[in-house]
Structure 1
Amino acid sequence: MIMRILGEGQYDIADEHLEQLNYLDSALQKAADAGQETAFASALSALLDAVRRLGTPLPDERITPSDLVLPDESTSLPQVRELLSDEGLIPG
């Protein structure tokens, strides 16, 4: 799966890491639903850090459609709420 972090780039994520990313996405969803700004910022940071750590960065010159686009760390809680579905940012 190709994930893009807005303003940063794309990462190729192996299927074996999706469960871990979904766990982090669930924490983000819970913090957003509860309106907990500090927990939300921490959860978003943890999710993006995991994508960076687990994914393989794609070269900037490679143009590939993203399967999923994630907000950057400066995105506010209200902005992320607009992006969340019933399954969070990461479906599955």
Structure 2
Amino acid sequence: MSESCCTTDGSCSTGAATTATAVAESTATVYRVSGMSCGHCRTAITDAVGALDGVFSVEVDIAGGLVTVATGGEPDDAKIAEAIDDAGYELTGRA
């Protein structure tokens, strides 16, 4: 049985093991992303951004065009933008 990136509250996470301490000490940054329209978009962005070093979780709000990234410290906006671009979407800035 494969694991889903979606949590019981409908948000997505990378599936990476995190501890309550790591998440509590993480920095959440919200980005505006264009081109998202479906569950495939959510999965593609979650997988791409979630694979980056230092990313604890990724939540995608398709309707709002927002992606929230929790990192261990200040996020690398350039790397996040590149991952989103490589997935076929465009990071248009921080929300």
Superposition TM-score, scaled by structure 1 size: 0.30
Say which structure is richer in helix.
Answer: 1
**What TM-score do you get using the length of structure 2 for normalisation?**
0.29
Structure in which a larger fraction of residues adopt strand: 2
Q: Which has the higher contact order (CA 8 A, sep 6+)?
A: 1
